[in-house]
Structure 1
């Protein structure tokens, strides 16, 4: 999957969904979706496609789009990966989406929204380290008390064999 959090001043474009087949309650997410087969080695292209499909905002109005996180989890024996991008737009206008209700949310309110646990952990990390240029890999796990935790690692090329 590819997900993006688009900023305009101190607001972030979020999508409110009424539920999904996995979660019956209202929740919020960034824009995004599944990668097409031809995008598997280019999640940024998938991200830009999803932005335009879900909001009508074209890539000419997106600036400083960069990969910030690769989130990993196992679901029903399948390894799921999510590429999370952050960018800016000067365009506050969007078209209605069939995926959910789009809205600009003040960034200080993001952690108060109901999001998936992995996205909540990622947003906490982002706000604590938002000026870093590093790409972080996050895996979600359960601690000894069976509570969800995130494990973070910096994605880097160690230049060794």
Structure 2
């Protein structure tokens, strides 16, 4: 089994979040939405924030100096397509609204009220929903997809203080 490490960022400008719409990926053969990010390079394996800043600049043209309050908020772990995926999810703020075109997908500023209507992966949908309900939470949460007795997907969050089912 392979391990894939990724970094994803959600940049916020007032009530809008910069999101990327992709036509398809290795996992999905349909249009879906996500944050800005990608796989960690070999020299970034111990430095996911470095990877996140690199991905932001490559995919948007927004530089590290344009971003404030950039913090690791979530570490997501899932077994997907025969690999363990570990994703570091950052949230930060920027006043810069303009961005460059990306070969990775189309970029859009989406109002926070519309985020839950976008077609995202389940783990990202749960993460965005949790963040919107807890934007000032200081703990880093570790989450993984589980299912209840009816096989309904849910995300189990773990902090240093408690375990929370969402």
Please give the TM-score of this superposition, normalised by the length of structure 2.
0.90
Shift of 1:146: 2.3
Per-residue CA deviations over 1:17-58 (Å, capped at 9, x if unaligned) read 011232111111000000001111110000000000000001
Out of 13, 16, 37, the position equivalent to 2:18 is 13
The 3-state SS of whatever aligns with 2:59 is helix
C-alpha separation in 1, matches of 2:48 and 2:26? 24
The 3-state SS of whatever aligns with 2:96 is coil
Contact kept in structure 2, 1:2 and 1:32, CA below 8 Å:
yes
CA distance change for structure 1 residues 21 and 118 in 2, over 3 Å: closer, same or farther? same
C-alpha separation in 2, matches of 1:120 and 1:155? 23
Q: Does 1:123 align with 2:128?
A: yes
Q: Which moved more, 1:81-90 or 1:17-26?
A: 17-26
Structure 1 gap ranges (5+): 157-161
C-alpha separation in 1, matches of 2:160 and 2:63? 29
Shift of 1:155: 4.5
Structure 2 gap ranges (5+): 1-5, 162-166
- 1:86 corresponding residue in structure 2: 91
RMSD between superposed Cα atoms in Å? 1.2
Shift of 1:145: 2.3
- 2:44 corresponding residue in structure 1: 39
Out of 54, 59, 75, the position equivalent to 2:59 is 54
Count, aligned residues: 156
Out of 47, 59, 68, the position equivalent to 1:63 is 68
Please give the TM-score of this superposition, normalised by the length of structure 1.
0.93
